[in-house]
Amino acid sequence: MPTSDPLLEVAGLSIRIAAGQGNLVDDVGFAVGRGETLCIVGESGCGKSLTGLSLMGLLPTPPAQVAGGSVRFEGRELLGLSQAALGDLRGDRMAMIFQEPMTALNPAFTIGDQIAEGVERHRATGRRAARNRALEMLEKVGIPAAASRLDAYPHQLSGGMRQRAMIAMALANDPQLLIADEPTTALDVTIQAQVLDLIRDLQRDTGTALILITHDLGVVAEVADRVAVMYAGRIVEEGPVGAIFDDPQHPYTIGLIGSLPGLESGRGARLVTIPGMVPAPEAMPQGCRFADRCPFAIPRCAEAPALRALAPGHRVACHRAPLEDNVAAEEAA
């Protein structure tokens, strides 16, 4: 469970798009400590991006709508804050990077102006100091000939360089929390590794906490302190990275980890589809949302299982966990 003084504490977070449909994010809760890395994994459409966006007040509303819950950051409730108050936090105490850098970069302004503007806005500095900070950040993220790139427009940079520029902008004010949603998926494999190493190096230097949303289990194994596994809008398992990989307890997690080809080969390993389909939003079951794909389902799975601790810090939402013990006992009976 949460560290004694978590940086971020999310509880009961629910998000819906349309009335009459099941919540697309349902009763999600987790905590992130200072400097910690939490990876959120799960199949496409399970609600990872909606969760990430909602933490920063960036949900597209409408159509999305927070239906309940709490997001406490540095002890302060963020749900219900005005966009002006959230705007003061974003790019300052917390920042987000995306798969597609043009989500964050404005094509009409130079890289240097965009980074400097964020610095000027959040820090009481003048134009010159802000521009110096922009240069320092471009150097930090490994953009060659940084001084001349200050005056480049986003389209004049390669995809990998644009990604670095977005990271420079996100980290320019030393955020306490960085949310990275598939930050390397659109890049080719060598550049992916470089950008990921860059994020980790900067994180180590600055003590920034990281929420990394990714499909790449190899990356998770390498960078996560803790892992939250989502399925159809819910967290089905959450725990220290070692427990998730070595002792997964939810049948869905077991499927994911079991389907992981050559973890040793590290990056690039991806989630492999488990037979069956994720329930549609208009047909979300009342009970366990994984039950109709689950080889271990029992009648009781018609009731939604609560997330409960199996070991300190390791929580599972499955009636049959611990799975091996229970399956063996039931077979013996």
Ligand X SMILES: Nc1ncnc2c1ncn2[C@@H]1O[C@H](COP(=O)(O)OP(=O)(O)OP(=O)(O)O)[C@@H](O)[C@H]1O
Residues that bind ligand X (CB under 6 A): 17, 24, 42, 44-50, 60, 63-64, 281
CA R_g for the chain: 21
Q: How far is the CB of 189 from Mg ion (least distance, A)?
A: 20
Nearest Cα to 225, choosing from 38, 16, 25? 38
Q: How far is the CB of 215 from Mg ion (least distance, A)?
A: 9
Q: Which residue's CB is nearer to ligand X, number 25 or number 209?
A: 25
Q: Which residue's CB is nearer to ligand X, number 116 or number 284?
A: 284
Q: How far is the CB of 133 from ligand X (least distance, A)?
A: 32
Partner that binds at residue 149, options Mg ion, ligand X, none, CB closer than 5 to 8 Å by kind: none
Two tokens, residue 168: 């420079």
* 184 touches Mg ion by CB under 5 A: no
Partner that binds at residue 115, options ligand X, Mg ion, none, CB closer than 5 to 8 Å by kind: none
Site for Mg ion in 285-314 (CB under 5 A): none
Partner that binds at residue 111, options Mg ion, ligand X, none, CB closer than 5 to 8 Å by kind: none
Q: Which residue's CB is nearer to ligand X, number 48 or number 319?
A: 48
Q: How far is the CB of 93 from ligand X (least distance, A)?
A: 23
Two tokens, residue 49: 């991006």
| 268, 187 contact by CB (below 8 A) | no
Q: How far is the CB of 44 from ligand X (least distance, A)?
A: 3
CA distance linking residue 209 with residue 93, whole number of Å: 11
Q: Which residue's CB is nearer to ligand X, number 64 or number 168?
A: 64
Q: Which residue's CB is nearer to ligand X, number 42 or number 305?
A: 42
Partner that binds at residue 17, options ligand X, Mg ion, none, CB closer than 5 to 8 Å by kind: ligand X
Cα pseudo-dihedral 216, 218, 220, 225, rounded to 10 = 180
Nearest Cα to 10, choosing from 28, 22, 25, 23? 28
Of 14, 23, 37, 49, which one interacts with Mg ion (CB under 5 A)?
Answer: 49
| 206, 174 contact by CB (below 8 A) | yes
Q: Which residue's CB is nearer to Mg ion, number 27 or number 43?
A: 43
Partner that binds at residue 24, options ligand X, Mg ion, none, CB closer than 5 to 8 Å by kind: ligand X
CA distance linking residue 94 with residue 145, whole number of Å: 28
Q: Which residue's CB is nearer to Mg ion, number 45 or number 287?
A: 45
Q: Which residue's CB is nearer to ligand X, number 47 or number 160?
A: 47
Give 83: exposed, middle or buried? Use CB within 10 Å, 0-12, 13-18, 19+: exposed
Residue type, 188: D
Partner that binds at residue 273, options Mg ion, ligand X, none, CB closer than 5 to 8 Å by kind: none
* 114 touches Mg ion by CB under 5 A: no
Two tokens, residue 324: 């091996």
* 214 touches Mg ion by CB under 5 A: no
* 14 touches Mg ion by CB under 5 A: no
* 199 Rama sector, left if φ>0, alpha if ψ -120 to 50, beta otherwise: alpha
Partner that binds at residue 168, options Mg ion, ligand X, none, CB closer than 5 to 8 Å by kind: none
Q: How far is the CB of 330 from ligand X (least distance, A)?
A: 33
What b/e readout covers 115-154, taking b as 16+ CB neighbours within 10 angstroms?
A: bbbbbbebeeeeeeebbebbbebbebbbbeebeebbebeb
Q: What φ, ψ does residue 39 adopt, rounded to 5°? A: -100, 135
CA distance linking residue 68 with residue 54, whole number of Å: 11
Contacts with Mg ion by CB under 5 A lie at 49
